[in-house]
Amino acid sequence: MMDDPDFLAQLKTRREVQKKILGERARVEKRMLALVAEAKTACGKTDDASVKTELEGNPAKYPEWNPLYARIEELNREYEKNVAGSREIARVRIAREAQDRADIAAGKACAKAVEKEIPTVPEPVK
């Protein structure tokens, strides 16, 4: 049942959205790393605290930093939300399949009634 086209299409769509988010995040990170390198050169120190102080303490010198930082945080939230949604879709699907198997084992349903992909065959006309 995991080969259900609707289920796979949902996951594929979410995966495509995740790829877009990760692509944008990579572009933002690249620019942020360039600013970090610039700040390291400007302050003459390489420790994170000094670089962060340089970037955040000089908004006129690094006007892009705060908007980039906010954007990366937003992209991270979007990505995590999308991944959580994908996990929930899979969790629900797995739970539904487990219930279907339990119903079959208990005699409450037959495999043909549970399987959407297998069409029911009409009784031949006598």
Q: Which amino acid is at 103?
A: D
pLDDT computed for residue 122 by the predictor:
42
pTM: 0.75
Q: Give the pLDDT of the chain (126 residues) as one tens digit per residue.
A: 567 888 889 999 999 999 999 999 999 999 999 999 999 999 888 889 999 999 999 999 999 999 999 999 999 999 999 999 999 999 988 898 888 888 888 888 776 655 554 434 344 443
Q: Which residues contact 69 (CB under 8 A, 6 or more apart)?
A: 32
Distance CA 118, CA 52 (A): 60
Q: What is the pLDDT of residue 121?
A: 39
Task: Give the Cβ contact number of residue 65 at 10 Å.
Answer: 21
Report the SS3 class of residue 114: helix
- pLDDT score, position 101: 86
